[in-house]
Amino acid sequence: MSTIATILDVVKLAAGVVLTYFVFYLYQKEFRSGVMEKGFRWIAISMLILTVSRVTDLLLTVLPTNEFMNDLITVLGTAFSLVLAYGFYLLYKVWHIDREETVEKSVPARPSVTS
């Protein structure tokens, strides 16, 4: 077990805990019941997955080599990426404005003139 690896894992874990707290704080105070709530909720969940991955990584450096822990870190890293990407996709759907639909909705239909 390398001392530098353990120190770096502890620093990554502390940063993950602070980041997770900050994201959940923002979710509760700023993004709750807004148009971006759904996307930001998934981003907050991904930060929680990241923190669990960091805890698993720290446990792997402290405990003897464990194949399950190695696989779990890979699974959690993949889950973090997928959940984060889905959260950003939901935010993209809120931010993205389809110009053709907007023009059709904003221009009222002209009444037909019959002679």
- Asked whether residue 54 is domain-assigned, the answer is yes
- Asked whether residue 78 is domain-assigned, the answer is yes
- Asked whether residue 104 is domain-assigned, the answer is no
Task: Please state, as a whole number, how many other Cβ atoms lie within 10 Å of the Cβ of residue 63.
Answer: 10
pLDDT of residue 111: 64
- Asked whether residue 108 is domain-assigned, the answer is no
Of 44, 39, 47, 48, nearest to 89 by C-alpha is 39
- Asked whether residue 41 is domain-assigned, the answer is yes
Q: What's the rounded Cα separation, in Å, for the pair 92 and 79?
A: 20
Of 70, 81, 71, nearest to 47 by C-alpha is 81
- Asked whether residue 86 is domain-assigned, the answer is yes
Of 60, 57, 48, 53, nearest to 19 by C-alpha is 48
Of 81, 78, 12, nearest to 43 by C-alpha is 81
User: Block means of pLDDT (10 residues each) for the chain, length 115 residues?
Assistant: 79 88 84 78 89 86 79 90 92 77 60 63
- Asked whether residue 16 is domain-assigned, the answer is yes
pLDDT of residue 108: 63
Q: Token digits for 115?
A: 């002679």
pLDDT of residue 63: 77
Domain that holds residue 53: 3-94
Q: What's the rounded Cα separation, in Å, for the pair 47 and 20?
A: 5
Total domains present in the chain: 1
- Asked whether residue 75 is domain-assigned, the answer is yes
pLDDT of residue 85: 94
